[in-house]
Structure 1
């Protein structure tokens, strides 16, 4: 009986590890934007919110290219916390 329980626990942990590996593989690597970056944007999926600071901050855009591959692009933007007064 102990062997059966141990076998069941090993099976569940193996399935959980395989599921975690699949999620990790589905997430594309973050690409950092430069002026030389050749962009192929067919569909923007999401854009991260810009921080409320008066400074240059990182932002990310998730998009699909014309072949349907998903990309995450990190770039720099001016924060929303600056005022003219």
Structure 2
């Protein structure tokens, strides 16, 4: 077996692993936050929110790892970042 064959096999294996992990994340069903929902958050992976130029309530999504390192997705509502801190 020559070096090119070994390198090609390793590259192919690495691409398959990346594809499998990407496919696993697509299958995650988002949960919707309600008051009292138990959250098991070990690490926040990403935060997203609807874009809006004005102050108000927007939809947001948090992707995080739980205590067992499983990826979870949570949908919730929040006040837009475009609001002043005044009352």
TM over 0.5: yes
Query: 1:54 matched to which residue of 2?
Result: 55
Q: Paired residues, what number?
A: 63
CA RMSD of aligned residues (A): 2.2
Q: Secondary structure at the match of 1:47?
A: strand
- Structure 2, unpaired ranges of 5+: 1-18
Q: Residues 3-32 of structure 1, C-alpha deviation per residue, up to 9 Å, x if partnerless?
A: xxxxxxxxxxxxxxxx7xx72x43211110
Query: 1:30 matched to which residue of 2?
Result: 30
Under a length normalisation based on structure 1, what TM-score does the superposition of the two structures give?
0.61
Query: 1:15 matched to which residue of 2?
Result: none
Query: 2:8 matched to which residue of 1?
Result: none
Query: 2:75 matched to which residue of 1?
Result: 74
Taking the aligned partners of 1:56 and 1:49, their CA distance within structure 2 comes to: 10
Aligned 8 A contact 2:48 2:60 in 1: yes
Under a length normalisation based on structure 2, what TM-score does the superposition of the two structures give?
0.60
Query: 1:5 matched to which residue of 2?
Result: none
